[in-house]
A and B are shown apart, each in its own frame.
Chain A
Amino acid sequence: MSTQPRESVLQRRLSLSEMLDVSSFQEVVRGFVELYRIGIKVFDERGAKLADIKIGNGDFCGYVFSFPDGRQRCTKWVQRVKDGPMAQSHGARLPVLDGERAPSGLVTAPCFTGLRYLLLPISFEGDTLGRIIFGPFLPEEMKGFPDTLTDIAGFEVGTAQALVEKVRRAPESTVARVMSHFFQVFETLLLAGQKMYLTSQLHIEATLAQNKELEARNTRLSEMNSRLKELDRLKSSFLATVSHELRTPLTSIIGYSEMLAEGLAGPMNQEQVDYVRTIMDKGETLLKLISSILDISQIEAGKVRLTFEPIDVQEVISSSISSLKPQATKKGVVLETKVPPKLDRVVADRDRLRQVVVNLLANAVKFTPKGGKVSATLTSVEHQAELSGDGYRIIVEDSGVGIPKDQFDRIFQSFYQVDSSSTREYGGAGLGLAIVKSFVEGHGGLVRVTSELNKGSRFIAILPVIPPTQMANVSPPQLPIPEEPDRF
């Protein structure tokens, strides 16, 4: 279970300043103020100012403020309007609307100077996010200044009268209508801003979440990968050890059988000799199998290094052919060799190359029925497009059962058998071609296969004249990971 992610933007209440673009909002407010000539202040729920545009009242309020009493009353009043309750208390009352519609929560707050303000809480989705203060304006019906202003020591009505004329005079209902209009615009800005803020924040959150997920997945994958590599290494080393331990006693079994068969321990009758020879034959087969397992496990463990030297390929071919001869003759399969009259000397690992040819020939003989034909062809050195350089080809062709096309890649996989059923006709561990591919690639070469079912197969090893030295370390065949077929 993952840890609780940090709180999403969807979980918390947004503030006005998050939803509004403050500077463009101030422009809108300024436009309103200039149009209607009434000041507007907007505060958020913590009392921070988002907009404060004054108009007309500066001189009058400045005059009142110039008296100590006036200053004191003014400060107290501002405090009340800005931070005081929005209810109909502390001097606030419902506005006189004269049939005008007004947003809910609107109250009128009369100033001690006789001027008036309208206060509107900013309700958004059930929350109060701040307040709008509209004013001051001069009430239409106001005739003289109230006592709360005129009793200030030194106050001159005449001076004040001249200054207050700059403040807009309007009926409360008109101001309420303007307020209502302003609030509609304000709400629209707020909604648009909320939408933008929420979606952009959510987009960021989603992207971060996705990144985190990908990182976690990458870590998991790389851990799994190293674990798999480790397991693979263990498997190869296990195979190598086991094969080695199997080979030692097997050599003794074959050796002692041979001695028995040759009569070194006294004469045997014909039947006994036949039995012992069977033991020897099967022992040899088993030994070959174990040797290939040992080879492939050493290849997989990265322990095989090729030793390159100038060699005679013709000799490699002919010695391979002669080692397969008894098998082919026994099965009634004809073995043929085609080699060019003269071949340039090439550089290769002689023993490994011989093993390549022997494995290919052994396969060919194995899968070719009685009366069939197997041929090994060696080409002369010429340019090989596949290698982008000079090279030669060893082609082993048979007239055997052939290989289905969709198996061409898989046959080079260790332990893979085209027919892996328990009743299969042909024996073997499925390692021959994997070894061929590894060794040929270790020489910097390529193996190609073409085949037609029931007609035969053709394996082509394309090898460079001189292997690139860095390829001397043999690696296991890299094969595409087989995919599970679609179920439907």
Chain B
Amino acid sequence: MQLNHAQRELTVKIVYYGPGLSGKTTNLQMIHQRTLTDVRGRLLTVETHDDRTLFFDLLPVFFSTAAGFKVKVKLFTVPGQVIHNATRRVVLQGADAVAFIADSRRAAAQDNNAYWKNLQENMRENALDPAQVPVVIQFNKRDLPDSKTQEEIEDTRKKGREAVIGAVAIRGEGVLETLHAVLQQAWRSLDARAALQKNIGLSEKEFLTQVFANIDTTGTELEKEFPPRKVEKA
């Protein structure tokens, strides 16, 4: 988090982490598609010739609070290939919350474990305290054969304190729910550290509403809480 009182500006950094081809970029693409241009910038991506993330993807989301604070939420992905560990570590620097995108297929368990360890390691290297930087796990590709059953995912949830969300990112399922969970936890952890409510008058509700009121939540679990605005997409 970067909080600049002089410029009345708050920057929050969310990092989508996980093994190669688990769907990190797809998550950002779906968010980008469903978000009104009023609150987001363009999706910046640098890909290799085979459409894999080379450095990172970046999607900025921004709004002004009722109290006149400018809030920027930067959504990043890291490159998944093993060789890009240094880039992953640099992108992870200063993250306020992490969405760990895992592949639900049983065959991917080993990769998920390896990247989970890699995340812990890189958080340590970046002096990010796991107790202060919340992580949300998304089990992506729920639609594929060989993916874990609901019970198995339940078991995974019980193994740690992270929120676990199922998803089929390519169809947009679970993407906004994951974003909601990771933003909510980011706000809570930042509020505990920097008293956002008290210091800049930003409540959890306002934080989430400013973002999700500008996102097309049609067909998601968030539809009731944040009814989609009847505005034509730009």
Chain A interface residues toward B at CB < 8 A: 1-5, 7-8, 10-11, 124-127, 191, 194-195, 198-199, 202-203, 205-207, 209-210, 213
Closest A residue by C-beta to B70: A126
Interface size class of B (residues with CB under 8 A): 20 to 34
Interface bits B10-51 vs A (CB < 8 Å: 1, else 0): 000100000000000000000000000000011010100000
Contacts of A206 in B (CB 8 A): 55, 84, 86-87, 90
Contacts of B226 in A (CB 8 A): none
Determine if A125 and B72 form an interchain contact, defined as CB atoms under 8 angstroms apart: yes
Out of B41, B84, B91, name the residue touching A10 (CB < 8 Å).
B91
23 A-B residue pairs with CB within 8 Å: A1-B125, A1-B127, A5-B90, A5-B126, A8-B93, A10-B76, A10-B91, A10-B93, A125-B60, A126-B63, A126-B70, A126-B72, A127-B70, A195-B44, A199-B54, A202-B56, A202-B87, A203-B55, A206-B84, A206-B87, A206-B90, A209-B89, A209-B90
CA of A209 to CA of B90 in the docked complex: distance in angstroms? Answer: 8
Determine if A10 and B2 form an interchain contact, defined as CB atoms under 8 angstroms apart: no
Contacts of B42 in A (CB 8 A): 191
Determine if B124 and A1 form an interchain contact, defined as CB atoms under 8 angstroms apart: yes
CA of A2 to CA of B126 in the docked complex: distance in angstroms? Answer: 7
Determine if A209 and B86 form an interchain contact, defined as CB atoms under 8 angstroms apart: yes
Contacts of B93 in A (CB 8 A): 5, 7-8, 10-11
Determine if B60 and A126 form an interchain contact, defined as CB atoms under 8 angstroms apart: yes
Contacts of B44 in A (CB 8 A): 191, 194-195, 198
Q: Which residues of chain B from 167 to 183 have a CB within 8 Å of any chain A CB?
A: none
Out of A1, A194, A195, A205, name the residue touching B90 (CB < 8 Å).
A205
Contacts of B54 in A (CB 8 A): 199
Q: Return A288 CB to nearest CB of chain B, in Å.
A: 52
Determine if B89 and A124 form an interchain contact, defined as CB atoms under 8 angstroms apart: no
Contacts of B94 in A (CB 8 A): 7-8, 11
Contacts of B56 in A (CB 8 A): 10, 202
Q: Return B85 CB to nearest CB of chain A, in Å.
A: 8
CA of A7 to CA of B2 in the docked complex: distance in angstroms? Answer: 11
Q: Return B150 CB to nearest CB of chain A, in Å.
A: 30
- B115 at the A/B interface (Cβ < 8 Å)? no
Contacts of B58 in A (CB 8 A): 10, 198
CA of A238 to CA of B56 in the docked complex: distance in angstroms? Answer: 56
- B187 at the A/B interface (Cβ < 8 Å)? no
Determine if A126 and B90 form an interchain contact, defined as CB atoms under 8 angstroms apart: no
